[in-house]
A and B are shown apart, each in its own frame.
Chain A
Amino acid sequence: MSTYSASKAVALAQSAEEGAAIAGQPLSLPVSLSSGGTGVFASLAWVGFGVSCLWWQDIGDWSRTHQLAAAAFVMSGGIFLATVAGSRLGQFNAGLQRRAPWLLASALFLTLWEVATAKLAWLPLPFFPPPQSIIEVYTDDLPKLLDSIFASVKLQLGGYVIGATVGFLTGVSIGWSRSVGYWVHPVLRFIGPLPATAWLPIAFFTFPSSWSASTFLIALATGFPVTVLTWSGVASVSYAYYDVARTLGARPWFLVLKVAIPAALPHVFVGLFMGLGSSFAVLVVAEMIGVKAGLGWYLQWAQGWAAYANMYAALIVMSLLCSGAITLLFRTRDRLLIWQKGVVKW
């Protein structure tokens, strides 16, 4: 009985093995293709996009249609070669594999966009410019765009750094000292929740220049969340940590710098993220209303001239800058708060 069942089990195992081998046979040959299948499709989709640029006549007058098609073909070729080269590219290939679905989807989106605007005009034209007209902005209006980017980054960076520094110091002081808290807390309560943009009219005539006014407003928008979260972070540090440090001979400054601040840092970063978000809003509004430079101003200016392609172009740059700034902040946090990785779920 037992031998029978054993042999049966062996037979079963054997047949299962064979089945696997058979199943594996047709799979094993184009395995690089199948894992890179999405890559091949993405490559084809980019060809499709390039073809869609050339197939129909443009219904408007755009000078970059052919270059756009050429770029699409280059992109397609690049994706195809990388997919075929497969594992020989190592890390790069892994990244490509991961992004292949997005490459495919973006090609499809661009094709749809191209056809719906430049070719068949499903969308009303001046308001929905085709991809090539946005490319045209980047190539032909580059100096002005770069100036605007530079102005925006300068303004944002200055205001943010000032706001974050002042907010952090204020937060630590009111979290640490009861008497500082007594005076600052009501002021914070009264002024903090006010949207920074509400100060705009006052700021623009009290400050000597629109640039300094905007810096102030951005600093204000950043400072409030940073202050509140730093304060709550410092205030929520466990007494046990201070007791430990004090018995080991720590003086008050050590308690602030080496106990309170590191313990509060996770909160501080939440404040920095919130401050970054609200300061972007203030930046754009300030540039649209008062400052004669920057991406917000460029947007406003483009709208005045009904240059919708320029607006989209500026909007794309703006979103890249904002998400770049957020990513940078995330990277900084990951570096500084590496110890949190095992403590909380990120």
Chain B
Amino acid sequence: MVALAVAEQDLTSAGASLDVEGVSHAFDIDGTVLPVLDDVSFGVKPGEFVALLGPSGCGKSTLLRLVAGLEPPRAGTLREDGDPIRGPFPSRVVVFQDPTLFPWRNVWDNVALGLEAQGILKSQLHRVDAAIDLVGLSGFHKAYPHQLSGGMAQRVALARALVNDPKILVLDEPLGKLDSLTRITMQAEIASLWQRKGFTTLLVTHDVEEALFLANRVIVFSDRPARIKADIAVDRPYPRHRGDPKLAELRRNILGLLGLDATW
């Protein structure tokens, strides 16, 4: 009981809460307004792992850009631990679908980017090494991005995010472009990293299985403009098993929500 309480406290200290309140957003494309988010509201508890699931191009990634603070929403507010999000901040780090490593920097320098940008690199050198070790790339400090495989590059991108000790880790389909074997391995790694570090995680994906394997909650979005269709709790213990019949059942439900249950 006591141990549980301690664990609970650890979780709250590592992760931040996130509140999305009545957020709407739209793009101007050649003068026509294209709505992408329509009155989206949900809350994420500290340390929770929430997956955002929806059809391709529905506006999930846009929502992540708003969470990251890269753009302000047209309407509504986003709050991190109760404070409105007004711009990018290293407590909310994004891992994008493409690793977008800087090709002119080697692995170490890429991972060091965040600390360098915040001007604290000189006193925190060990954190870079630790982050590289964490994603299992200890021998690759001096390698340039073009020498890495897709999976390794994405690990570097993950290390580059984790080195900042984020309170909210924002994952924008980070495994979308990897081969299926690497994807399975990295899903397990992300799950164990999240459990160890306790940061709040927001994952955009269109892989139902991935969402169910990783998340505490799966929020299903409609077609563009994205509205919340369902908010499903995945109440299964970690580490999860892909063959879990409960997950299979949830998967079927979710595919039904997405109108794809005919093939199941």
Contacts and interface: CB of A to CB of B under 8 A. Distances in A.
Given A247-B68, A251-B117, A259 B102 contact: yes
Given A249-B118, A254-B117, A343-B146, A240 B102 contact: no
A248 B147 contact: no
Given A240-B98, A263-B104, A248 B146 contact: no
Interface residues of B, number: 28
Given A243-B96, A262-B104, A263-B104, A249 B146 contact: no
Contacts of B88: 246-247, 249
Given A254-B117, A258-B116, A249 B164 contact: yes
Interface in B102-126: 102-106, 113-114, 116-118
Contacts of B164: 248-249
Interface in A236-255: 238, 240-241, 243-251, 254
Main secondary structure of the interface of B (DSSP, over half): loop
A265 interface: yes
A249 B103 contact: no
A339 B103 contact: yes
A342 interface: yes
Contacts of B96: 240, 243-244
Contact of B103 (A245, A246, A247, A343): A343
B225 interface: no
A339 B114 contact: no
A241 B116 CA distance: 15
Interface string B64-87: 010011100000000000000000
29 contacts: A241-B102, A243-B65, A243-B68, A243-B96, A244-B94, A244-B96, A244-B102, A244-B113, A245-B113, A245-B117, A247-B68, A247-B88, A247-B90, A248-B117, A249-B88, A249-B90, A250-B113, A250-B117, A258-B116, A258-B117, A262-B105, A263-B102, A263-B104, A265-B104, A337-B104, A339-B104, A339-B106, A342-B147, A343-B146
Interface of B: 65, 68-70, 88-90, 92-94, 96, 98, 100, 102-106, 113-114, 116-118, 144, 146-147, 160, 164
Given A243-B96, A247-B68, 12 more contacts: A241-B102, A243-B94, A247-B90, A248-B113, A248-B117, A249-B90, A250-B113, A258-B116, A262-B102, A339-B104, A342-B146, A343-B103
Q: Which 7 residue pairs across A and B have the least CB separation, nearest first?
A: A248-B114, A249-B90, A250-B117, A342-B146, A246-B88, A249-B118, A240-B100
